[in-house]
Amino acid sequence: MDGILPFLKPPGITSHDAVAICRRILKEKRIGHSGTLDPMAYGVLPVFLGKATRLIEYTDEFDKTYVAECKLGTFTDTEDSSGQPVLPDNESLFCL
């Protein structure tokens, strides 16, 4: 099978995990991805199959675009959305 598969990567898995899922389901040996999405990111990961893997080197010049949804004023123990909410020492503290 040759082509480019737009894989909708959910948060919580790496780009490598996404390729492994495609490899297992499609039973494809020649497979790779263009760029890397952060493990917590949700988005489209281009997965290249078969002869299309030769095109990966030409995609390096393309920029990734992130769209973020933020909730201001929440502090977590990991300083990201994967952590548990904690109360700041000063509840009026606000940083951007």
**65 within some domain:** no
d(CA 41, CA 67) in angstroms, rounded, equals 10
**25 within some domain:** yes
Mean pLDDT in the chain? 86
Mean pLDDT of 61-68: 80
Predicted structure pTM score? 0.73
> Residue 13 sits in which domain range?
3-59
**84 within some domain:** no
* Tokens coding 42: 């949700």
**85 within some domain:** no
Q: Respond yes or no: is residue 63 known to be catalytic.
A: no
**46 within some domain:** yes
Please say if the pLDDT value at position 59 is more than 80. yes
Query: What is the domain count for the chain?
Result: 1
**41 within some domain:** yes
Please say if the pLDDT value at position 88 is more than 70. no
pLDDT of residue 90: 55
Among 2, 38, 60, 89, the active-site one is 38
**49 within some domain:** yes
d(CA 82, CA 67) in angstroms, rounded, equals 18
pLDDT of residue 67: 82
**64 within some domain:** no
